[in-house]
């Protein structure tokens, strides 16, 4: 699999933390097929094509104080809904005084799936909280993004009507590009997304841009402004590539 892909898997703790950082106010979930197509078009406008797909989502479960067997059953049922082979799911369970985390992993030549059930253990007579998260990393283009977005959304929607979904597409251009070329290519992508105002962070080895696209339904609030798209470029001397990363509502993970 790609050199970037497996480095960016994360648990529900990281996903929730990102939402806290960027603001808890958000809209209804975006239609996954629309998001995949729109972000893919932006990738093409940058001069790259979709090579890797990272999709993550989480929701709060209604269940409380689940035992290990019940948690494992949730992981297995979620794996089935994602279209995975049950025999391929490797489950690990870890418990301490404050947190119980059970993780189901599926590793294949073309994809990696991480299913986590996390229980935040509260003091006696307090209600515990339970969350389900799903992370998918796979190679492929727009069609693969649509397929996995639908699977992740359907799986989480069975547990909660309004799950949080984050989509991240990765492409690359050969060689090292000058930063003015980076800006031009990302500007082309922003134009396709219909982003009229954006905030940027520019450093010697990467550029990150956030903004709001009217073409995407889901958004987070950063300060007093809505945000639903995040673009970045960085050069990797290891493989002599300039990576293009486009995520909605934000890029969740390393880049």
pLDDT 10s digits, 125-165: 667 789 999 999 999 888 888 899 999 999 999 998 889 99
Could you tell me which residues are beta bridge partners of residue 198?
211
pLDDT of residue 64: 67
Average pLDDT for the chain: 83
pLDDT of residue 169: 95
Mean pLDDT of 71-77: 95
Structure tokens at 54: 């990272």
pLDDT 10s digits, 11-32: 333 333 333 333 435 444 444 4
Q: Does residue 8 have a pLDDT over 60?
A: no
* CA proximity to 46, closest of 151, 250, 163, 191: 191
3-state percent helix, strand, coil for the chain, nearest multiple of 5: 30, 35, 35
Phi/psi of residue 98, nearest 5 degrees: -115, -20
Q: Does residue 178 have a pLDDT over 90?
A: no
pLDDT-derived band at 254, boundaries 50, 70, 90: low
Write out the CATH class of domain 5-248. alpha beta
Q: Does residue 123 have a pLDDT over 50?
A: yes
140 touches 50 (CB < 8 A): yes
Q: State the pTM of this model.
A: 0.82
Residues 6+ apart with CB under 8 A from 197: 211, 212
222 touches 22 (CB < 8 A): yes
- Write b or e for each residue in 212-242: b if 16 or more Cβ atoms lie within 10 A of its Cβ, otherwise e: bbebbbbbbebeeebbbbbbbbbbeeeeebb
* CA proximity to 120, closest of 251, 8, 254, 11: 11
pLDDT of residue 179: 83
CA 36 to chain CA centroid, Å, is 12
pLDDT of residue 155: 96
pLDDT of residue 253: 62
pLDDT of residue 33: 39
Structure tokens at 115: 């299913």
C-alpha–C-alpha distance, residues 121 and 99, integer Å? 5
Write down the H helix ranges in the chain. 12-22, 32-45, 68-81, 142-157, 179-193
Q: Does residue 4 have a pLDDT over 90?
A: no
Mean pLDDT of 231-235: 94
pLDDT 10s digits, 78-101: 999 999 999 999 999 998 878 899
Percent of the chain beyond pLDDT 90? 56
pLDDT of residue 255: 56
Beta sheet of 129-139, edge-to-edge order: 90-95, 99-107, 111-120, 129-139, 52-61, 164-174, 241-248, 229-236, 206-211, 198-202
Judged by DSSP in three states, 138 sits in: strand
pLDDT of residue 120: 87
Cβ-based neighbour number of residue 176 at 10 Å: 12
Mean pLDDT of 108-116: 90
């Amino acid at each position: 699999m790609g050199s970037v892909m497996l480095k960016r898997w994360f648990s529900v703790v990281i996903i929730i933390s990102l939402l806290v950082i960027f603001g808890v106010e958000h809209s209804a979930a975006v239609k996954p097929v629309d998001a995949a197509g729109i972000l893919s078009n932006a990738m093409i406008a940058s001069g790259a094509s979709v090579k890797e797909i990272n999709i993550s989502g989480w929701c709060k479960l209604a269940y409380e104080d689940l035992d290990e067997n019940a948690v494992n059953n949730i992981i297995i049922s979620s794996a089935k809904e994602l279209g995975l082979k049950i025999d391929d799911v490797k489950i690990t369970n870890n418990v301490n005084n404050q947190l119980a985390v059970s993780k189901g992993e599926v590793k294949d030549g073309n994809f990696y799936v991480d299913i986590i059930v996390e229980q935040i253990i509260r003091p006696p007579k307090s209600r515990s909280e339970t969350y389900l998260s799903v992370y998918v990393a796979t190679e492929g283009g727009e069609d693969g993004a649509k397929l996995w977005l639908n699977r992740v959304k359907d799986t989480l929607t069975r547990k909660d009507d309004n799950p949080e979904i984050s989509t991240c597409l990765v492409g690359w251009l050969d060689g090292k590009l000058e930063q003015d070329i980076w800006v031009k290519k990302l500007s082309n992508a922003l134009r396709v997304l219909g982003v009229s105002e954006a905030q940027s962070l520019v450093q010697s080895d990467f550029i990150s841009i956030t903004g709001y696209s009217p073409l995407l339904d889901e958004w987070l609030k950063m300060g007093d402004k809505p945000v639903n798209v995040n673009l970045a470029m960085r050069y990797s001397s290891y493989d002599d590539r300039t990576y293009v990363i486009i995520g909605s509502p934000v890029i969740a993970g390393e880049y």
